[in-house]
């Protein structure tokens, strides 16, 4: 092994007969392993270690906290585009004997014609699946006909393009620009021989090109340069011939924001609430990272919770805090929910900070992602904006982590490792000794509780900027509408508000948290319900495709004209989805331009962005959407928000149902009247008396918090405890149920019997409660049956340790390959 291999470096190493990508996490001078067991590392994949010591420590902590392997957390911390991918090439061996079988002959023929081919290419050529091809190749290998070569190659790489740079010092260029301008202006002189107008234009363009190169001070891609000056490459070549520019091949950064120039913005004058919040961040947060003497290393860096109503100017506070941090030579990571990571939102940061911003989001190509990641690692970008995975960005000298909309459940990963970016950010802040700034109009109950306890510093922006009012919220009891004989989906007040709004040529957002047309399709005669065969849920009817769709596994099937159970023709469609709302709106307001904005209408690439742009240009009057319309949209002409049915999420069997409904409704309501025009919100509900709905009406987070925290305390749910869930799933219903009971017995023994409990490290005397087992609310998904447990304790470490112990040593009764364990620590949905 190379003596200078640093910790955090990615390497290739032999593992069970293949080469695997791994990370150097520790160096040992001695080991008990037999010398024959120790293998050499085959190859080093990094020049600079991919993982800093902080990131090594962070991922190690995550593995323990979230009960998974360190390898998994390490590789979730780097984008796949930065890693290598396995490539399996098949080569024909020289002088190989001819094979026998038909397919084998075909394979050899392709290899003879095209040279080496990858397994996937070969499978496509011969028209068999990869799985079927594999054994045939092995057979050919054994007969000495072909060789299978496994290599790792980078998934993406740096890209070279043609760039232009200045060939002379700035003073000479300035002089040439002056001369060129004079030449271009020569058109106005009347005496002397008149140059052709083409020459004036060329001179002017030449001056423009040189000016751009001089002002930007960096090599510019020739394609970009000619586009910006609106000219052709030949003018650039002339400048090259005259010795003013060099044209070379160099690394180009694929910039996801490049096309449109973004106007630069200056810091705004903060209002008094913003100033107070900023001053506290400045005095306590920024100085924490710079003035080590006043904050001993043992003291944890502070976490701030910026609680500000929608439109109160939180982003301006973030940006001014960022300026301070950057001024001290440090970097900042800003997390935003993926759904609100629109170019519109990102451009606010780019407008203020320009080129130093790196943008990470799921729509980047591999090449773009590769470039952004390397810009960050090299320190060329010291601001990173991205969704939850950006918490791992390899910035130099981290100075602050900002989490906007910190309550958003998009920060919780729903695949292994099931981490919450807010908690990971806190840990990363601790390791880097830098503050964390959380912001939200509707903070998570956990965060606000910590702020009230003094663990976090609470900063408040109670009002919208510039004296703008919060929108008026009207609650409509739909039971009363029904009594009045109104059977449509619009209450009288919502209908008249839409009419008035359309008349004023202002815009409307209608919100409903369910896609599709009808959510229950059933037989009136026998009660048969159309259900997914793989999952335990009823199917949603999609009008546009005339299909029944499972919103869990995506399975589709045609509708039945008569009941498959009793043949009755009385099939009825119940429950409302966005498609049905769209139809109703078109019927009731034929003059309105209507567009639906949900996962179904935005599947095409860029459809999402196109709809928002059209809406922004006021070519759409009514936008109908799911929670996709709730976040981050800032359209000054929207003055009416209608919530078609507020109760859809309030009845979920989940202890966070009220919290999630409150924040969703508050965010949706916050889209109305954001600029000069006053806004209105109409919320239709069957539960007007619910404290969640009442609090939304009064924009009363504190009132909601007081009620909700009491309910949580009474039931000992977070923030008064930690919970972890264990889900068991398998194809055989009975086996799953039996496994669940075996697990329960095992856990009981560990918790009650002092002797075996001693085997569970640190569990000992414990307050851990086990709730369950019970069938999970979605008792069958994708053909697998599911039972679950909830573990509750004051100490999250105890839950993690107990579940780890269980995963390592499952009860003997469980046939381990038939039953999967899914562990979720601090779940956001139960």
- Contact between 443 and ligand ADP per CB under 6 A: no
Query: Which is closer to ligand ADP, CB of 307 or CB of 798?
Result: 307
279 lies in the binding site for ligand ADP (CB under 6 A): no
Cα separation, 179 vs 173, in Å, equals 10
| Distance from C-alpha of 671 to C-alpha of 263, rounded to nearest angstrom | 24
CA distances from residue 453 to 427, 458, 633, 719 in whole angstroms, order as listed: 19, 10, 33, 11
**How far apart are CB 449 and ligand ADP at their closest, in Å?**
22
> Residue 782 belongs to what H/E stretch?
none
Q: How far is the CB of 761 from ligand ADP (least distance, A)?
A: 45
Residue 627: HSE in the Cβ half-sphere, 13 Å Cα cutoff = 18
Q: Is 231 a residue that touches ligand ADP (CB under 6 A)?
A: no
Q: Interaction with Zn ion in 555-574: which residues (CB under 5 A)?
A: 555, 563, 565-566, 568
Dist CA 504 CA 640 (whole Å): 11
DSSP 301: P
Does position 316 interact with ligand ADP (CB under 6 A)? The reply is yes
Site string for Zn ion, 493-532 (x = CB under 5 A): ------------------------------x-xx-x---x
State the CB neighbour count (10 A cutoff) for residue 565. Answer: 13
Q: Is the CB of 314 or the CB of 608 nearer to ligand ADP?
A: 314
609 touches Zn ion by CB under 5 A: no
Nearest of 353, 348, 347, 315 to residue 331 by alpha carbon: 353
Among the listed ranges 83-91, 309-317, 728-736, 754-762, the one in contact with ligand ADP (CB under 6 A) is 309-317
187 is an interface residue for ligand ADP by CB under 6 A? no
- DSSP line for 134-184: HHHHHHHHHTTSEEEEEEEEESS--EEEEEEEE-S-HHHHHHHHHHHHHHH
96 binds Zn ion (CB under 5 A): no
For residues 133 and 148, give the distance between their C-alpha atoms in angstroms, rounded to a whole number: 13
Residue 310 touches which of ligand ADP, Zn ion, none (CB < 5 to 8 A by kind)?
A: ligand ADP
User: Which CB sits closer to ligand ADP, 311 or 399?
Assistant: 311
When asked if residue 757 is in the footprint of Zn ion (CB under 5 A), the reply is no
Query: 222-237 burial, b for 16+ CB within 10 Å, e for fewer?
Result: bebbbeebebeeebbe
Residue 821's binding partner, choosing from Zn ion, ligand ADP, none, with beta-carbon cut-off 5 to 8 A by kind? Answer: none
Residue nearest to ligand ADP according to CB distances in the complex: 313
Phi, psi dihedral angles at 86 (to 5 degrees): -75, 140
- Answer yes or no: are the C-beta atoms of 393 and 386 closer than 8 Å: yes
Contact call for residue 315 and ligand ADP (CB under 6 A): yes
Report what 535 binds from Zn ion, ligand ADP, none; CB cut-off 5-8 Å by kind: Zn ion
With CA atoms as reference, report the closest residue to 616 among 261, 344, 264.
344
528 binding partner (options Zn ion, ligand ADP, none; Cβ < 5 to 8 Å by kind): Zn ion
Among 59, 222, 312, 658, binds ligand ADP (CB under 6 A): 312
311 binds ligand ADP (CB under 6 A): yes
Q: Does 274 bind ligand ADP (CB under 6 A)?
A: yes
Nearest to 202 by CA among 217, 221, 181, 220: 181
**Phi, psi (degrees; rounded to nearest 5) at 233:** -65, -25
91 vs 73: CA distance, rounded Å = 36
C-beta of 526 vs 599, nearer to Zn ion? 526
Closest approach of Cβ 674 to ligand ADP, in Å? 7
| Contact region with ligand ADP (CB under 6 A), list: 64-72, 290-298, 303-311, 581-589 | 303-311
| Count of Cβ atoms closer than 10 Å to residue 700 Cβ | 16
Under the binding rule (CB under 6 A), the answer on residue 671 touching ligand ADP is no
**Helix residue ranges per DSSP H, 716-753:** 733-752
SS3 of 106, please?
helix
Contact flag: residue 447 with ligand ADP (CB under 6 A)? no
Residue 9's binding partner out of ligand ADP, Zn ion, none, with CB under 5 to 8 Å set by partner kind: none
Name the site residues for ligand ADP (rule: CB under 6 A): 268-271, 274, 308, 310-316, 465-466
| Residues in contact with Zn ion by the rule CB under 5 A | 523, 525-526, 528, 532, 534-535, 550, 552-553, 555, 563, 565-566, 568
């Amino acid at each position: 092994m190379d003596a200078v291999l640093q910790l955090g470096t990615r390497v290739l190493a032999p593992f069970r007969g293949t080469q695997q990508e791994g990370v150097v996490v520790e160096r040992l001078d001695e080991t008990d392993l037999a010398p024959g067991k120790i293998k050499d590392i085959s190859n080093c994949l990094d020049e600079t270690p991919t993982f800093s010591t902080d990131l090594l420590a962070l991922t190690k902590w995550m593995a323990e906290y979230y009960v998974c392997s360190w390898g998994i957390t390490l590789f979730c911390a780097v984008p796949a585009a930065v890693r290598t991918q396995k490539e399996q090439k098949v080569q024909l061996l020289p002088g190989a004997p001819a094979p026998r079988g038909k397919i084998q002959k075909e394979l050899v023929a392709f290899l003879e014609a095209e040279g080496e081919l990858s397994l996937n290419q070969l499978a496509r050529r011969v028209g068999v699946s990869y799985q079927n091809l594999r054994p045939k190749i092995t057979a050919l290998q054994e007969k000495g006909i072909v060789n299978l070569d496994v290599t790792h190659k980078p998934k993406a790489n740096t890209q070279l393009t043609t760039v232009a740079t200045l060939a002379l010092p700035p003073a000479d260029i300035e002089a040439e620009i002056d001369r060129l301008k004079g030449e271009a202006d020569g058109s106005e002189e009347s005496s002397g021989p008149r140059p052709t107008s083409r020459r004036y234009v060329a001179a002017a363009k030449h001056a423009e090109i040189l000016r751009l190169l001089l002002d930007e001070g960096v090599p510019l891609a020739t394609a970009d340069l000619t586009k910006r000056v609106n000219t052709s490459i030949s003018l650039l070549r002339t400048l090259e011939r005259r010795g003013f520019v060099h044209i070379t091949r160099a690394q180009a950064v694929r910039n996801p924001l490049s096309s449109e120039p973004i106007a630069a913005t200056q810091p705004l004058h903060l209002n008094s609430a913003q100033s107070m919040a900023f001053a506290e961040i400045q005095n306590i947060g920024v100085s924490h990272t710079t003035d080590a003497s006043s904050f001993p290393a043992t003291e944890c860096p502070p976490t701030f919770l910026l609680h500000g109503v929608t439109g109160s100017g939180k982003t301006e506070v973030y940006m001014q805090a960022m300026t301070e941090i950057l001024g001290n030579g440090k970097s900042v990571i800003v997390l935003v929910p993926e759904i609100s990571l629109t170019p519109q939102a990102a451009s606010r940061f780019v407008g203020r900070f320009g080129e130093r911003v790196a943008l990470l989001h799921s729509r980047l190509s591999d090449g773009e992602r590769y470039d952004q990641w390397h810009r960050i690692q090299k320190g060329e970008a010291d601001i990173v904006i991205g969704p939850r995975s950006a918490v791992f960005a390899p910035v130099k000298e981290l100075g602050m982590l900002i989490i906007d909309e910190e309550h958003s459940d998009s920060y919780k990963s729903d695949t292994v490792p099931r981490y919450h970016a807010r908690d990971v950010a806190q840990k990363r802040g601790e390791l880097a000794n830098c503050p964390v700034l959380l912001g939200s109009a509707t903070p998570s109950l956990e965060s606000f509780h910590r702020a009230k306890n003094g663990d976090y510093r609470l900063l408040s922006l109670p009002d919208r900027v510039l004296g703008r009012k919060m929108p008026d919220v009207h609650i409509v009891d739909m039971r009363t509408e029904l009594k009045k004989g109104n059977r449509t989906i619009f209450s009288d007040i919502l209908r008249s508000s839409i009419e008035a709004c359309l008349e004023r040529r202002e815009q409307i957002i209608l919100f409903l948290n369910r896609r599709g047309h009808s959510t229950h399709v059933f037989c009136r005669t026998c009660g048969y319900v159309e259900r997914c065969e793989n999952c335990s849920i009823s199917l949603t009817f999609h009008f546009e495709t005339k299909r029944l769709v499972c919103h869990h596994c995506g399975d589709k099937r045609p509708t039945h004209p008569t009941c498959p159970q009793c043949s009755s023709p009385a099939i009825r469609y119940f429950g409302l989805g966005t498609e049905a709302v769209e139809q109703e709106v078109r019927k009731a307001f034929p003059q309105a331009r209507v567009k639906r904005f949900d996962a179904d209408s935005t599947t095409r690439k860029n459809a999402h962005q196109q709809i928002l742009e059209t809406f922004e240009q006021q070519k759409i009057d009514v936008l109908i959407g799911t929670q996709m319309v709730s976040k981050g949209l800032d359209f000054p002409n929207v003055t009416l928000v209608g919530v078609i049915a507020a109760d859809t999420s309030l009845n979920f069997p989940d202890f966070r149902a009220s919290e999630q409904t409150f924040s969703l409704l508050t965010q949706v309501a916050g889209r109305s009247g954001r600029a000069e025009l006053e806004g209105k919100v109409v919320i239709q509900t069957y539960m007007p008396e619910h404290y969640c709905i009442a609090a939304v009406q009064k924009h009363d987070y504190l009132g909601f918090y007081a009620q909700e925290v009491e309910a949580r305390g009474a039931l000992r749910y977070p923030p008064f405890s930690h919970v972890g869930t264990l889900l068991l799933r398998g194809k055989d219903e009975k086996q799953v149920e039996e496994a669940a009971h075996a697990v329960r017995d095992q856990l009981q023994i560990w918790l009650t019997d002092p002797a075996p409990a001693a085997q569970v490290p640190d569990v000992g005397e414990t307050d851990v409660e086990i709730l369950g087992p019970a069938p999970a609310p979605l008792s069958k998904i994708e053909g697998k049956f599911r039972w679950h447990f909830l573990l509750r304790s004051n100490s999250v470490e105890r839950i993690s340790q107990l579940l780890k112990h269980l995963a390592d040593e499952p009860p003997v009764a469980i046939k381990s390959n038939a039953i999967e364990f899914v562990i979720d620590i601090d779940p956001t949905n139960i």
